[in-house]
Structure 1
Amino acid sequence: MSEVFEGYERQYCELSTNLSRKCHSASLLSHGEEKKEKLVEIKSGMDEADVLIRKMDLEARSLQPSAKAVCLSKLREYKSDLNQLKKEFKRVSSPDANQSTREELMESGMADVHAVSADQSGRLAMSMERLDQSSDRIRESRRLMLETEEVGISVVENLSQQRQTLLHAHSKLQGVDDAIDKSKKVLTAMSRRMTRNKWIVGSVIVALILAIILIISYKLSH
């Protein structure tokens, strides 16, 4: 950045601060010679500030593009600051400065009230929107909970029916086991009887054979 521009910049900042103090001091004075002298000083300072702004503008436009952009950006801020000082000077130098000050304060207060009201309305609307969203989420959660509860009841009923079915099947299996055991006992008894009957029949056959042999032997011997 140019040292010349920085020099003008320091001068303007000091002058702007001084002019702001003088405007505030002048606003507290009633109409009279003291206030007139103060206003003359302020007007002279304003002219000097205008000269510094023009010098900074000329210096900034003569710089390289990179430095030029930075200086012009600062210059816009200083021009805006000077315009605010001119408005303040115009207000202070107005014959109805005190009335204007009161009106500005009232307007500022009303603007603050409206701003606060608008801000509160915005916050209220945002709160209502968030409340509605929360209510929707709660209703959705309740709906899902009821659906889940219904599914759970249905599952419990199905499990109960399946349990009854399994218990019934288990009872049937126990009955089948008992029937099988009884069948085994009957078959075992029948097998034993058949074995005993075989021995009896065999013994009878052997006795008959022996009897036949004895009869034949007796006949042959006589």
Structure 2
Amino acid sequence: MSQIFEGYENQYCQLSANLSKKCAAAAVLDGEQKKQKISEIQVGLDEADSLIRKMDLEARGLQPNIKAMLLVKLREYKSDLNNLKSEVKRIASTNLNQAARDELLEAGMADTLTVSANQRDRLLMSTERLNKSSNRVRESRKVMLETEELGVSLLHDLHQQRHSLLHANNTLHGVDDNMSRSKKIITSISRRMDRNKWTIGAIITVLVLAIGAILYFKLSK
């Protein structure tokens, strides 16, 4: 998850809790004190709106799977902010007397705090679920990266083996060519030896005949 988003998220949760306390306090005030407190709350609501927009922009710039989870969080925060705004409008439009303030202190403020606490619990549960989902996404991404690295390593090994096989094939072709040339040379030498044998045989035959003729003429005289 984006650290920038988490920073905005922490700021918003703290601001939302502070605004809820101020709303509860403003509900029991009257006159100028009430107006001043509502003005403070309005400033906080503007700041909360700004944080929501920043979180929205940051979430939309992330990867689709992470963006989807963060947008779910944003819907919760926007709902929380709308509830705060509605509460502020209700407080601003109501002029409570002392009896109403006492009743609010005894019942209304307790209900507001209960609702706010329940909403915070829901937000925390949603945040916890989304964090778990983010962890699963990170683990899946880690497995994918490891698988990709393994695939790259296997392709590299196969490439090296292919290179070795091609080299061995070229070597075998070279040996085959050398053997063919050697065979041709041996055949040529064998033919020459055969021709030399016939030549030597013919020479010996001529010499024998010449010697025989010479002996014949000498003996005949």
TM-score bucket (shorter structure): 0.3 to 0.5
Which structure's relative contact order is higher, taking Cα pairs within 8 Å and 6+ residues apart? 2
TM-score, normalising length: structure 1: 0.45
TM-score, normalising length: structure 2: 0.45
